[in-house]
Amino acid sequence: MAIEDQAGDQADRREFFRIDDSIQLSYRIVDSVELSLRLEKLDNSVSSSFTVMTRLQALSQHLSASLHRIEQKDPDVADYLKALDKKVELLGQSFLADEIDLTEQPAKPINLSAGGMSLCAAESLEIGTQLEIKMLLLPSFTGVLIYGEVVGSEGSPDDADFPWNLRVNFSHIRDADRDALIRHILRRQAAVLRQQREDRERLEDE
């Protein structure tokens, strides 16, 4: 198998990793006219304050190899650059807080992948409904903007306040946002596996 094919297969597998998580998010219905305008801005990489952290993190990822080389040659300069990067990150977080305060909303339990999500909702939505979704990923404090389509809406009697289970496919998401989402999912998976291992070791020691 060619290297390119292997890389593509790995990317596909990462996209469909699924986790159970609790995330602060909001969503709203968008009609076809508004969706077209929003997607034009998305395709032209027009950033909002909400997505500034995603762009900053993408730049940091791009520069990480250069920073590593600088660190080997001049640790003092590398420390200075890391401090600058942290200051820029704090500024980005303040922009996000001014744009929308998802931090005051309770986190919603969802099942999440880079290709879609399912969550409990207070009301049903018709299949085919287009949504604008904003997620706040913690602890990175990254705002992710996604457009998705409702592909399923089933009754969920376990929760009287949120009696519907919505399934949403992500139809439009920028590469930087998808990468941020994949990093978040992989970190959460690693944390869950680490906790399971620690619990198993603790039981063995008892």
Strand partners, 116: 113, 169
Provide the token pair at 94.
């303040």
Return d(Cα 15, Cα 67) in angstroms, integer. Answer: 28
* 3 within some domain: no
170 contacts 146 by C-beta, under 8 angstroms? yes
* 111 within some domain: yes
| Of 150, 124, 174, the residue nearest 30 (C-alpha) | 150
172 contacts 39 by C-beta, under 8 angstroms? yes
Return d(Cα 191, Cα 157) in angstroms, integer. Answer: 30
Return mean pLDDT, the chain.
78
* 159 within some domain: yes
For 142, counting Cβ atoms within 10 Å of its Cβ (0-12 exposed, 13-18 middle, 19+ buried), the class is: buried
* 57 within some domain: yes
Model confidence at 102, pLDDT cuts 50, 70, 90, reads low
What tens digit of pLDDT does each residue of 112-164 get? 999 999 999 999 999 999 999 998 888 877 888 899 999 999 998 777 888 99
* 14 within some domain: no
* 12 within some domain: no
19 contacts 112 by C-beta, under 8 angstroms? yes
**Residue 84: which domain range?**
19-205
The total domain count for the chain is 1
* 7 within some domain: no
* 1 within some domain: no
- The pLDDT score that the predictor gives to residue 77 is 74
Here the CATH number for the domain that contains residue 84 is: 2.40.10.220
- With a threshold of 0.85, does the pTM exceed it? no
Return d(Cα 91, Cα 53) in angstroms, integer. Answer: 9
